[in-house]
Amino acid sequence: MASFQFPGQTRFYSGKVRDVYTIQDQLLVMVASDRISAFDVILPRPIPFKGQVLNQIAAYMLKATSDICPNWLLDVPAPNVSIGKKCIPFKIEMVVRGNLTGHAWRTYSAGKRELCGVQMPEGMKENDYFPAPIITPSTKAEQGHDEDISANEIIANGLATAKEWEILSDYTLQLFTRGKQLAAQRGLILVDTKYEFGKIGDTICLMDEIHTPDSSRYFYAEGFEERQAKGERQKQLSKEFVREWLIANNFMGKEGQTVPVMTDEWVNTISQRYIELYEKVIGDSFIPQPLSDEDTYQRITASLASLS
């Protein structure tokens, strides 16, 4: 994917999977690439239509939650492009968990009962529901890994005021409740996810993507209780299968490790899994819309002209 130069462009940033253009310090053009990352490493081959899948799920979910809190999104001029308002981001990720899974389970199984200042009950099994969803924030690292942080530490370190934390927590739990409702309609359980927020003036806005398989974990609802009762692994919908493949091939992003070779067949498998994710989460057929760089550029510049 080419990098563009737009009228009024004041900044360009290429992230692990997205390219972000700042326009006159007021708007962001976010281009979701087909790059895929795991363990904080960009894998060597792009995944066809991954950018479109993630961008369109995020746009759908932002629209479906816009009554809960303001969000950054203004337009989706191309299948893999979103344009929205530039916010001053809070340097934290609001991670919310409905089930004891992933990092929470690893912490729990190591004998700890506190995560980010939140107490976890005794006697839980992997993937059990928490009595109520818990918020386990992390710092948003510019480089390296994000780190767990408690609400008290967030306030003490000036990452948010006590009042801002109250609003962020309230929005997070309301968004998670809506996300779980939307998932349930599709026969899914939204297990955990993360939200990012920023400010425009004094207004707190939801930023970035939400409820996508890259930022969230979904379980299939059918058979969930039976699998729990038998201690079986839950059937899930996320990019966890990519991480599992990497681990099976001795790669976890550590120094000296080499990313395994991605065959054409495996790249196609990942692409099909992302399309399956889209269709399951949205409940609609996925329509691939490959665009040339020139077409993408024209659509973005037309949108920017109409927004200015």
Mean pLDDT on 57-69: 97
State pLDDT tens for residues 174-206: 999 999 999 999 999 999 999 999 999 999 999
State pLDDT tens for residues 107-161: 999 999 999 999 999 999 999 999 999 999 999 766 556 799 999 999 999 999 9
The alpha carbon torsion through 284, 48, 298, 210 (nearest 10 deg) reads 50
Core vs surface per residue 141-177: b (16+ CB within 10 A) or e: eeeeeeeebebeebeeeebbeeebbeebbebbbebbe
| Cα dist from 91 to 101, 188, 203, whole Å | 24, 30, 16
State pLDDT tens for residues 64-105: 999 999 999 999 999 999 999 999 999 999 999 999 999 999
Distance CA 282, CA 212 (A): 10
The reported pTM is 0.92
State pLDDT tens for residues 248-275: 999 988 888 999 999 999 999 999 999 9
| pLDDT given at position 253 | 87
Domains recognised in the chain with CATH numbers: 89-237 (3.30.470.20)
Distance CA 194, CA 213 (A): 11
Distance CA 56, CA 73 (A): 12
